[in-house]
């Protein structure tokens, strides 16, 4: 089977390419990338991509698919359906399932379910510690052999610095990155939103930015000690961006991601006690949003990952203090991120790097480029398609989205995984 994607603006940061090209897919690989009109369409399925962007398949390196164990919130099938609709050809699945993914058998189960779904690729992230309980390391060799691409206790910090030291050392021997959820639980206390003017007004317990910064500082000190590979999850604060910038200047082996809600929303979104805006780390101030945007622009923040965290009404239709942390993002992430391009914060090439090339590099997975011979994972994007976010149309089971009703410009119109069109709106 061969597929010709004709006349699109091919954006491939790995090749420094942003030009009109025809892209030929043969089987499950990229077979040719040539100037327009040079590859014959005869006998091939042709997709017209005039006025569209053709990008390497987007990769979201931080999602919660909730299977096994919480299938009422999301399954691998519904989560990957949401992923491909949102333009993602691959996602990395965090291990805070039930049971926690701390053993090879859970990783294998996730991969089997993903294969049966046949939509986006799923890269399991194994737990750093057994049960993500922060006491004993899990078996990294076994997890890697089963298909885990990184390790994280996401949802929980690794509170004990000695355990984190050993995790960085142990993971290093297997070439696996440690994805750190940076949060000092003692300092967080009973906090439920950012600590500041709005928490005061609402009478809610606050979470200061120092809760995140302290742990980032500790983890940076630990990679200096161990030489391990550290990736920081969901960076949300001004001070955190400054710490990562400084660490990168000093040559430390750190990478970092942020999420669309941290560059579009502030603590104001919590007003009215909207539990859809309850997320951990919390939505912060306009100064934090500005710092996150600056960090994306200057390369301090390598990746945009949405931290898709579906919850049901059982966890969200509650008083604010009792509701679960988390919001969904797979079907809005691209539209919200493209806003940065429309607003002149990022170039298109920078955006594709943060949503495809860099996540592939950080996780050490194939894809993230359209070079000949690469997997045929492609996202076709209409930069000008205007649409309104409506949670009731989502493929995800989650409805916990603070962007409902937003008008966005830019959408994935086709998602191709391994040469197969798995989602199309053309």
Q: Give catalytic residues, as residue numbers.
A: 307
**Helical H segments across 22-160, by residue range:** 76-85, 104-117, 140-146
**Pairing of β 150-152 and β 58-63:** unpaired
By C-beta, is 47 or 309 nearer to ligand DOR?
A: 309
Q: Which is nearer to ligand DOR, 274 or 294 (CB)?
A: 274
The residues in 349-408 that bind ligand DOR, with binding defined as CB under 6 A, are: none
Q: How far is CA 383 from CA 49, 83, 304, 336, 343, in A?
A: 12, 18, 18, 12, 13
Angle between helices 210-226 and 161-173 (to 10 degrees): 50
Nearest approach, Cβ of 217 to ligand DOR (angstroms)?
19
Q: In the stretch 214-243, what mask flags binding to ligand DOR with x, by CB under 6 A? A: ------------------------------
User: Which segments within 94-241 are labelled E, that is strand?
Assistant: 121-126, 150-152, 178-180, 193-194, 206-207, 230-232
What are the CA-CA distances from residue 407 to residues 268, 340, 389, 411 (Å)?
19, 14, 6, 12
- Number of chain positions touching ligand DOR (CB under 6 A): 10
Residue ranges in 36-75 that form contacts with ligand DOR under rule CB under 6 A: 64
Exposed / middle / buried, residue 409 (Cβ in 10 Å: 0-12, 13-18, 19+): middle
Closer residue to ligand DOR in complex, CB, 126/155: 155
Complex with ligand DOR: residue 269 or 279, whichever CB lies closer: 279
Q: Does 126 bind ligand DOR (CB under 6 A)?
A: no
Q: Which C-beta is closer to ligand DOR: that of 217 or that of 325?
A: 325
Distances (CA, A) of 178 to 220, 222, 304: 12, 12, 17
Residue 413 C-beta: closest distance to ligand DOR, Å: 30
Tokens representing residue 219 in the block: 């983890």
**Residue 21 or 66 with smaller CB distance to ligand DOR:** 66
When the beta carbons of 192 and 414 are compared against ligand DOR, the nearer one is 192
- Residue 355 carries which DSSP code? I
Q: Is the peptide bond before 207 cis (omega within 30 degrees of 0)?
A: no
279 is a site residue for ligand DOR (CB under 6 A): yes
Tell the smallest beta-carbon distance from residue 305 to ligand DOR (Å): 12
Parallel, antiparallel or unpaired: strands 17-26 and 29-34:
antiparallel
Contact pick of 217, 325, 387, 406 for ligand DOR (by CB under 6 A): 325
Binding test (CB under 6 A) with ligand DOR, winner from 56, 79, 86, 155:
155
Residue choice 258, 280, 333, 396 for contact with ligand DOR (CB under 6 A):
280
| From 181, 284, 293, 339, residue interacting with ligand DOR (rule: CB under 6 A) | 181
Residue 154 found at the interface with ligand DOR (CB under 6 A):
yes
Q: Closer to ligand DOR at the Cβ: 326 or 335?
A: 326
Shortest Cβ distance from residue 182 to ligand DOR (Å)?
Answer: 10
Q: Is 51 left (phi over 0), alpha (psi -120 to 50) or beta?
A: left
**In the complex, minimum distance from the CB of residue 311 to ligand DOR, in angstroms, rounded to a whole number:** 6
Q: What b-and-e string marks burial along 200-230, b requiring 16 or more CB atoms within 10 Å of the CB?
A: eebebebbbbbbbbbbbbbbbebbeebebbb
Alpha carbons within 13 angstroms on the beta-carbon side of residue 243 total 22
Position closest to ligand DOR via CB: 326
Question: CA-to-CA distance for 37 and 262, rounded, in angstroms?
Answer: 42
Q: How far is the CB of 314 from ligand DOR (least distance, A)?
A: 13
Beta bridge partner(s), residue 123: 92
Position 96 contacts ligand DOR (CB under 6 A): yes
- In the complex, the smallest distance separating the C-beta of residue 366 from ligand DOR, rounded to whole angstroms, is 27
Give the footprint of ligand DOR on this chain (CB under 6 A). Answer: 64, 96, 154-155, 181, 279-280, 309, 325-326
């Amino acid at each position: 089977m061969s597929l010709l994607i004709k006349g699109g603006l091919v954006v491939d940061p790995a090749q420094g390419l942003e030009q009109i090209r025809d892209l030929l897919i043969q089987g499950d690989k990229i077979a040719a990338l040539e100037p327009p009109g040079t590859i014959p369409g005869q006998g091939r399925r042709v997709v017209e991509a005039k006025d569209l962007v053709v990008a390497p398949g987007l990769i979201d390196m931080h999602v919660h698919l909730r299977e096994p164990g919480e299938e009422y919130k999301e399954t691998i099938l519904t989560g990957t359906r949401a992923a491909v609709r949102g333009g993602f050809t691959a996602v990395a699945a965090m291990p805070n399932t039930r049971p926690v993914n701390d053993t090879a058998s859970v990783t294998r189960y996730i991969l089997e379910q993903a294969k049966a779904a046949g939509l986006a690729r799923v890269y399991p992230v194994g737990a750093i510690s057994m049960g993500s309980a922060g006491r004993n390391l899990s078996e990294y060799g076994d997890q890697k052999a089963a298909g885990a691409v990184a390790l994280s206790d996401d949802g929980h910090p690794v509170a004990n610095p000695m355990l984190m030291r050993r995790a960085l050392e142990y993971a290093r021997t297997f070439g696996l990155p440690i994805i750190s959820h940076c949060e000092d639980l003692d300092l967080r206390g009973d906090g439920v939103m950012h600590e500041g003017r709005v928490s005061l007004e609402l009478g809610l317990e606050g979470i200061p930015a120092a809760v995140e910064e302290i742990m980032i500082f500790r983890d940076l000190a630990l990679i200096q000690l161990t030489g391990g590979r550290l990736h920081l999850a969901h960076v949300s604060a001004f001070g955190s961006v400054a710490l990562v910038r400084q660490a990168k200047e000093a040559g430390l082996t750190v990478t970092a991601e942020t999420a669309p809600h941290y560059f579009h929303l502030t603590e104001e979104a919590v007003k009215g006690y909207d539990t859809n805006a309850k997320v951990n780390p919390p939505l912060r101030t306009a100064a934090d949003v500005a710092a996150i945007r600056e960090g994306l622009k200057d390369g301090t923040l390598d990746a945009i990952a949405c931290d898709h965290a579906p919850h049901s009404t059982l966890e969200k239709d509650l008083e604010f203090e009792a509701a679960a942390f988390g919001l969904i993002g797979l079907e809005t992430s691209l539209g919200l991120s493209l806003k940065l391009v429309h607003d002149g914060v990022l170039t298109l090439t920078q955006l594709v790097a943060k949503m495809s090339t860099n996540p592939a590099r950080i996780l050490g997975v194939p894809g993230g480029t359209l070079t000949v011979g690469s997997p045929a994972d492609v996202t076709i994007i209409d930069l000008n398609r205007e649409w309104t976010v409506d949670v009731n149309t989502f493929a995800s089971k989650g409805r916990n989205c603070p962007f409902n009703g937003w008008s966005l410009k830019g959408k994935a119109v086709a998602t191709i995984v391994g040469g197969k069109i798995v989602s199309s709106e053309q």
